């Protein structure tokens, strides 16, 4: 869980302080994406857990996190992962894990970047080097029928998941539909809104995003107003701003500035 704690520390320190950070080879936009996703996943599961709250508060300070606070947060993460395998899988996906390839392959990581000789996420073992064996590839070459059947099974599972997601009753409505990871049309990066109201990237100073560091919260009205738009209130103390947001679909939102003009659009990742 050490890498997850480092990612949470990077989030607590704010975008400016993590701009030049390097966590297990993740830097720049890739790191920013993983940091925000990690915060969303952890706070959705453990946002009300005192050990996590204390850790984030301590991580924000430049004096560092006390050993006891770090140990308590790590224990909370491990206990939650033991009880919830879905949560454990999400943490494994997010934790950047270097995987050395035997023949210098270039592997594409889960976050969309190309990393020579490294794969981030997707491992069953966090924090350990993994050597990719050529025999895995050779098996597919020597056993094309078995490999083909495996591909077919994966395809069937994927189709079933898509059909289940499109069935009536599965779509979210109201404030819940705003929860998730979003890509902004103004190029400001990924914006995250967790189920407990914590968010990242939503505060704007005029028409420019502003992050002064520390917790940010987003409050979405339960119902849209007469104009069909929800009220989105963003707070990052001492700053506070209110916007209107139109939920065009489950995967698309338009956020409006206080003068009524479109500020940016969001598309679900």
pLDDT 10s digits, 148-207: 666 665 565 656 555 544 444 334 556 788 998 999 999 988 899 988 889 999 999 999
Q: How far apart are CA 45 and CA 121, in angstroms?
A: 19
Counting the structural domains of the chain, the total is 3
Residues 100 and 213 in one domain: no
> Per-residue pLDDT tens for 37-67?
999 999 999 988 999 999 999 998 877 899 9
153 and 113 assigned to the same domain: no
Q: Which of 47, 34, 41 is nearest to 190 (CA)?
A: 34
Assess whether pLDDT exceeds 90 at residue 264: yes
Residues 179 and 152 in one domain: no
Residues 102, 52, single domain; the answer is yes
**Are residues 117 and 185 located together in one domain of the fold?**
no
The verdict on 79 and 156 lying in the same domain is no
Same domain, 32 and 81: yes
For residue 141, the enclosing domain spans 134-165
Residues 61, 103: one domain?
A: yes
Give the containing element (helix H, strand E) for 46.
helix 28-46
Which helix (H) or strand (E) covers residue 255, if one does? strand 252-256
């Amino acid at each position: 869980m050490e890498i997850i704690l480092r990612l949470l520390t990077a989030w607590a320190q704010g975008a400016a302080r993590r701009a030049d950070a390097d966590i297990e080879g993740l830097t720049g936009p890739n790191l920013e994406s993983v940091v925000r996703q990690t915060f969303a996943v952890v706070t959705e599961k453990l946002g009300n857990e005192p050990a996590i709250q204390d850790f984030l508060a301590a991580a924000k300070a430049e004096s560092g996190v006390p050993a006891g606070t770090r140990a308590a947060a790590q224990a909370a993460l491990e206990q939650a992962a033991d009880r919830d395998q879905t949560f454990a899988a999400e943490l494994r996906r997010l934790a950047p894990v270097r995987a050395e390839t035997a023949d210098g392959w270039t592997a594409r990581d889960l976050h969309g970047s190309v990393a020579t000789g490294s794969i981030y996420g997707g491992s069953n073992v966090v924090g350990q080097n993994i050597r990719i064996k050529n025999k895995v590839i050779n098996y597919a070459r020597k056993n094309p029928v078995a490999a083909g059947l495996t591909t077919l099974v994966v395809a069937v599972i994927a189709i079933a998941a898509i059909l289940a997601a499109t069935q009536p009753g599965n779509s979210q409505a109201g404030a819940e539909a705003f929860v998730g990871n979003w890509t902004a049309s103004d190029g400001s990066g990924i914006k995250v809104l967790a189920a407990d109201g914590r968010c990242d990237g939503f505060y704007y100073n005029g028409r420019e995003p502003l992050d002064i560091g520390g917790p940010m919260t987003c409050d979405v009205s339960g119902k849209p107003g007469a104009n069909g738009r929800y009220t989105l209130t963003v707070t990052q103390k001492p700053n506070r701003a209110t916007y209107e947001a139109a939920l065009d679909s489950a995967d698309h939102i338009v956020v409006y500035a206080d003068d009524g003009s479109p500020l940016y659009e969001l598309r679900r990742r």
